Structure 1
Amino acid sequence: MLAHMSTAPSPAALQGLKVLELGQLIAGPFAGKTLADFGAEVIKIEPPGTGDPLRQWRLLHEGTSVWWQVQSRNKQSVVLDLRTPEGQAQVRRLALEADVLIENFKPGTMEKWGLGYEALSARNPGLIMLRLSGYGQDGPYRDLPGFAVVAEAMGGLRHLMGEPGRPPVRAGVSLGDTLAALHGVIGVLLALQARQHSISPEAPKGRGQVVDVALYEAVFNCMESLLPEYSAFGAVREPAGSALPGIAPSNAYRCADGQVVIGGNGDSIFKRLMAAIGREDLGQDPGLANNSLRAARADELDAAITRWTLEHPVDEVVAQLQAASVPVGRIYTVRDIAQDPHFRARGMIERIVTAQGLALEVPGIVPKLSATPGSLRSLAPSLGEHTQAVLGNLPSTD
């Protein structure tokens, strides 16, 4: 049951949208979850026996991952073996009525099963197929296996993560998968909008298309000025630890009992920060009047700020800088998140009770829509929970 249920809009933003999710693990299912949160009917196809491997990932309760309760909420589970002609035929039947099909198999797999876009769109011209893969549907690397860890490295992100002169580190979550999923959702919404402009007697829902998202490209798209700086100046950005190269002061700083992050890089913010730490001399220094000047003296500024933060506990640093309207924050653990009143006031922590009776807190829904917000309508399904109901009255493809 949903111990705390979001107010369900009527109609939901994506009410009436039918989505067929064939992906597994993170990228495809995260895209499906996002669409489902806003009212889409998402039918998740799982292999017989074990289902989506995510059911067994990380910490389990009575044999099922608690992560599963987030990734598959608001979805229906249908068991089909896509490697068999019978399973493939059922997908073709489901695809006749679908608006969107999500898959994140190795390129060519869907075609091998007779489920490529050309085959499915011939019977359903309005179908939109979201295809998520490591390297995309074409290009010399298309057939290579690609996971988020590789995409983050190839997209330029991993090289920048860590301390100078030391091996790169990872973020601790699969950013490549999640970034690809979000780009995929954007692509689906764009394709739905475009479909509206192509309605005709031959295609009463309009013409669909393929949304091709490569994990490495989703990462690369978030790399800001990395490429133009190299193109113009031959500059290869290197890892800088917790600092933001070329932006100063902006860093993590040690306090008497922990650490905080401070963003003092706006011109007026910088002056307020310097006043708060008792360094008005730096705040009024003409040689620090703008960011480019401050960036050249970033080490000097970080040292001055650290001398002050080390003298005070985290709570005092946060309180004083917030009072001065300087962006500052403690570095949260999940315990801090769970105890923070702002997360709860914004609906970012929802309470559910799983089918096994486990009371669980899960992340709320993003983004916030004022008129048609997302909602938690149903729990993550058990394996094959909806197989009979979904397949019972499907049209034939013959």
Structure 2
Amino acid sequence: MQEATGPLKGLRVIELGVLLAGPFCGQLLGDMGAEVIKVEPPGQPDPLREWGQVKPDDKSLWFPVVGRNKKMITLNLRHEDGQNMLKDLVAKSDILVENFRPGTMEKWGLGYDVLKAINPGLIMVRISGYGQTGPNAKKAGYASVGEAFGGMRYVMGEPDRMPSRAGISLGDSLAATFGAMGALAALQHRNATGQGQMVDSAIYEACLSMMESLVPEYGVAGHIRERTGSFLPKIAPSNVYPASDGMMIIAANQDTVWRRLAEAMGRPELADDPKFKSHVPRGENQAEIDALISDWSRKLTQAEIADVCEAHGVPCGPIYTGKEMMDDPHYAARESITQVPHPHFGTIPMQNVFPKFSETPGNIRWSAPETGAHNEEIYGDLLGRSDDDLNALKESGTI
């Protein structure tokens, strides 16, 4: 088993909750070197262990990613003994991550006030749909609901149909990322003062934070941003364009880059056309400029478009699936995808640790272990419980 190498080595994280937001936050911290102890109720493993569009041999290909670098224990937080054992863990930990509906931890006698009294330096990351306060706090809030409430869903998709969604759980992942970022900022505060704090990451607010100028556009100008499909209004040219064998992204919305694209197209005169010469008129004539580029691009292959754009310093690129990612030399050179040992598949490819650190690079020590795989290590070695105690706790359904 590999040793942690990341900048968070030496920190201990307790991960509670299920599905994506809490576990992804734990994954991020574990990738950066923290010891992450994931808690699952006995007999009720995280449903994410069964999720995924493709399950060879009925094995999840999602959970090995989100469960990597974690130590797995079982613990029933509805039992008093389980609550007391969590408190023992809190006393020896730095960060606790949970993504239950607000009020759940308090119902179990494990609210932040209780846990902070045990460990004043504890940082408690709480991820939920609507946050820990406000009239909606205790409502159920999955990623899709948070994306809608935070304004993201309304602007996603084509203008002539219902809002679309990304093919991933953006809201959960964004809230988890903000939770991890908040935990690291809280660590800096703790280093200065010795005091922990609560980090309240709401899915809808994580989405709201990504909405650029949407709020002042309405608040100042009364404008409601609408769905526009593959482009942003008034930002031209920047779109998906056809190739003879597929499609390419070309982004040339800066004046100097647009001039270079016009030269690459063999139409340098377009750069001086009053309709296209600067940012504002290009935005006003967006459909026309996109049509001109499409007429040029569809006669070329993806490789030919890439070559001519690169030669002229114009940003462009293909739209990748997993297949192209696995074959791409840039991915290989940066080790963006890595092979991780897996007990069933031998090895499993997955995205590597990001961002990259020059002095303390994060690493993937193992893929997701089985439920309860580290009970003896955590309860025996860390908390000092005897074998007899562990057997009794298991028989009582506590672990």
- TM-score category (smaller protein): over 0.9
Counterpart for residue 145 of structure 2: 150
Using the TM superposition, give the Cα deviation of residue 121 of structure 1 relative to its aligned residue in structure 2, in angstroms. 0.4
Answer yes or no: is 1:329 the counterpart of 2:351.
Answer: no
Of the candidates 365, 368, 387, which is equivalent to residue 356 of structure 2? 368
Q: Secondary structure at the match of 1:197?
A: helix
The aligned residue for residue 161 of structure 2 is: 166
Partner of 2:365: 377
Structure 2 spans left out of the alignment, 5+ residues: 386-399
Is the counterpart of residue 27 in structure 1 residue 15 in structure 2?
no
- Encode CA deviations 1:93-116: one digit per residue, 9 max, x unaligned: 111111100000000000000111
Q: CA deviation at 1:361?
A: 0.6
d(CA) in 2 for partners of 1:135, 1:220: 11
What percent of counterpart residues are identical?
48
For 1:96-150, what per-residue CA distance to the aligned partner results, in whole angstroms no more than 9, with x for missing partners? 1111000000000000001110001011100010000000001011111000011
1:289-308 equivalent positions in 2, closer than 5 A: 289-308=277-296
Tell me whether 1:17 sits opposite 2:6 in the alignment.
no
In the TM superposition, 1:213-252 aligns within 5 A as: 213-252=201-240
Aligned amino acid, residue 16 of structure 2: L
Q: Is the 8 A contact 2:148 2:154 kept in 1?
A: yes
- State yes or no: 1:89 paired with 2:84: yes
The one-letter code matched in structure 1 to 2:243 is C
What letter matches 2:8 in structure 1? L
Question: Secondary structure, in 3 states, of the residue corresponding to 1:39?
Answer: coil
The aligned amino acid for 1:166 is R
Q: Which runs of 4+ in 1 moved over 4 A?
A: none
Partner residue of 2:73?
78
Q: Which residue pairs with 1:46 in the alignment?
A: 40
Secondary structure in structure 2 of the residue aligned to 1:261: strand
Equivalent residue runs for 1:183-202 within 5 Å: 183-198=178-193
CA–CA separation in structure 2 for the residues paired with 1:20 and 1:262: 44
**Aligned equivalents of 1:134 and 1:349: distance in 2?**
31
Give the CA deviation at 1:287. Answer: 4.2
Q: Which residue of 2 aligns with 1:203?
A: none
1:270 is matched with which residue? Answer: 258
The 8 Å contact of residues 8 and 373 in structure 1, kept in 2 or not, is answered as no
Q: Report which structure shows greater RCO (CA 8 Å, sep ≥6).
A: 1
Instruction: Give the Å deviation of 1:356.
Output: 2.1
Which amino acid is the alignment partner of residue 105 of structure 1?
F
Count the aligned residue pairs.
383
Match of 1:354 in 2: 342
Query: Structure 1 residue 210 and structure 2 residue 204: aligned?
Result: no
Shift of 1:253: 0.9
Q: 1:61 to 1:256 in 2, by over 3 A?
A: closer
Deviation at 1:289, TM superposition (A): 3.0
Query: CA 1:117–1:395 in structure 2 vs 1: closer, same or farther (change >3 Å)?
Result: farther
Q: CA deviation at 1:84?
A: 1.6
Q: Identify unmatched segments of 5+ residues in structure 1.
A: 199-205
Distance 1:87 1:8, change over 3 A: closer
Q: Please tell me whether the aligned partners of residues 247 and 295 of structure 1 are also in contact (alpha carbons under 8 angstroms).
A: yes
Give the partner amino acid of 1:249: P
Superposed CA RMSD: 1.6
- What is the SS of the residue equivalent to 1:98? coil
Match of 2:272 among 280, 284, 294: 284
